[in-house]
Structure 1
């Protein structure tokens, strides 16, 4: 039995191969053939039966109306890596049509779309003729080309500024995978005041330096062709992606707000740069990070409890994997009513569709002051007692202080320090009394109040500058107070 391929000059005959004795490989899918196959013995061409029938009627060469100046050739197996169709911008793999003279590729759907589809597309292109077909954006080293997204289904790329799926008209650099919505292209600030570096504004520029947030060399990262934000005075830099990170979680074990680190850091190699400052294990999943102190904490070490209760929702909230509950691509937190990232872990209610940021659930004190109690019903004594009990239970959980300015190891809470002998506090050098924090490895000890000293203060006798907490002196005799 023979069949004729439209893309091959000879007929190909049917064969049945034994997996153990025959060693033939399919020219289309590049996998070993076992069982039914078709082959051209003259050309040593072998195909699985299904692969042969899939390409049976595909012509070797076509002329496409949107690339009419060159012929497009059929490539059975397609490129080694997934490619991007130049017509629909959909990521595809396998059989495609490619131009031998220029880097133009089409998937099979676009290659054989009806003429009506091409006419409609040309009309849309003419209506967009007033727009710039290419633009040199100040944040990317390569020119950005105008595209129109034509797929209504699954999206393959997100806008690099707002992180939302591409729709409608947008600009992009296909070789770098860098795309911007048309309406986002003029929203990217050239100067940024960022909470990671509040002392100076960060300016957008092409730099060859290390990103202070992800610790990766910017020129070696995925943003190597994109400008980064930097402070030349302090040599502080954030790559384009990390500049969008913000500290959100207030926690009593640390003076700075902590930043949720999620999909941005999912590079398997990059993850090994981060070690939890509490348990000393590698941060291989999502974690919280303080960029200023280079402090990292697993969610379990913060701790982020698996089950939480919020005063404005009657059901318990469960810590859950990222949730995409909205088909139109809009995701909001039900506590702060602000947009949330659908790739971040959240608290959600399993009895209803209540979903909230982790920080909005844990920062209950701040939330309660914002959502004033004037509109809330009065709280009964039983409810108040229950709330106080919950607060006490929460305090017993938060027993770890991580303060690199004092000591490099985690410090654990100790209710009584008098029984530790004649020891002094590592900060104030006074004799220990009452509760405190102790390093079990080095026996370094701090009073409870000293462990919570702020990293920075402003003093009326020196108002022109902030005063930073400094704890590296070797002897109390070496400290000289500028006031007394």
Structure 2
């Protein structure tokens, strides 16, 4: 079928793609959109293509956008008597090309795309019980669909009640595909009642999903997204985020991936002095060369000289500590395991339980750290200066107790363990691959004075602090944290920012993996095996893939709170006649023999000759001697 069209000098031939034949790769000359159906093409192969519908446009139309007069089809340059200085559509303000409908009297122009979008004046929409009327005039209002206040040229309004939505929201499809999720998303005009137990967040912008407004969701994964966020992510489904990760690595060669495995922490600690430009600072070590292949080191943290050891020497002296090609020993500095793959490390010939990574032994004594800009931080032991008291501290970043090295500010009572102090640079978290994140803190006055003024100052600081909602535990928090500048993704500094990727628990023989929402293809509820309560599907959890068992991060991490703690150290307490060993709460009991308080998963101190176990407070401030009558 041939068509003589005044927009082209050659005849046009109707082309309809057969089954299995590729579609035309070109765009329509009239509307500028891709050709997916029947089209007219030039018989002389001029690369001129028109949609069948565009080629058969009427010369005159009546359109609701301009009801006063008829609109005439105008084609440049063939209609020479009709030329305008501005080639802009009156409705969408987009520039038009050769084709447009116009009214010469009113100087009204309507592009082809707008002319084809004929909107009904009155519609019945599934989101509302009354008919909605089209309002063809600019209006500023808060949309009852997307909860966005904006000024649109067209909208739908209910004359029976105060219900008003954007015209673009009324045209939203009931289902759509999004590049942010691998399943189709379904449009709901409010949060479905079955999901009302928990407060949900948009998986794209991390902001709260208001239950009364429209939402796109996936029932198979309990995935929710604001309608505008879902629209912005339309397109083919991403198979992976590897491209985004490569782009992030190109931005910063020192990109830190969280959560890191233990070996990655060792790399961070090794480069820690370089990132702080602390190479000129005094090292905490003094090295004495003994031979060509062995160094002796005098370190402030230990009374005896330390010898640089390798795997062969260690295997020969302590074979019982090797299992599955991994050496089950912990560094006394960072409290991370020392494995066969680790670089050479230091050990003490007289104390078989003291070890130091080489990088931990070379940490500087003083650093200026961005997490605490008021004063310099000094490298110190966990103790308070008394060699006969086993003390530990709580890191101000991860809020986990530790008995390794710390960078400490005494006037501010501020401490960082070695792992947290080494987290300098651009950060990308596995749970938030879309954007980079960084450490943030409240820029508030210093209230570090003592006494009643410290208490009043803390109250004032808490009052003026801006609170964020943690994506991990769902709690409000303020202070030092990890957050995204682009969206509302935040991790509080109470364990959550530094959760390990895997943990083990006595309830399960398999490793438990840190898991992030949305949980793919798992529409059923999760219940914590420890507290037996339902887990909020918006929050992170630890999950066993073999047994399908789940745990709250706050429950499992309370049990594993001592991941940053080295047990087995023996010391002499001033108020007890025998040496005490730092242990986990033992199987016999979970309370202190002296004060009867529960250990609550904190370290305990055991005396084998006395067959007694006491808490940390009794060791520091009480009498650790317990009689047989007290135990019975």
* TM-score higher than 0.5: no
| Larger RCO (CA under 8 A, 6+ residues apart) | 2
Structure whose alpha-carbon radius of gyration is higher: 2
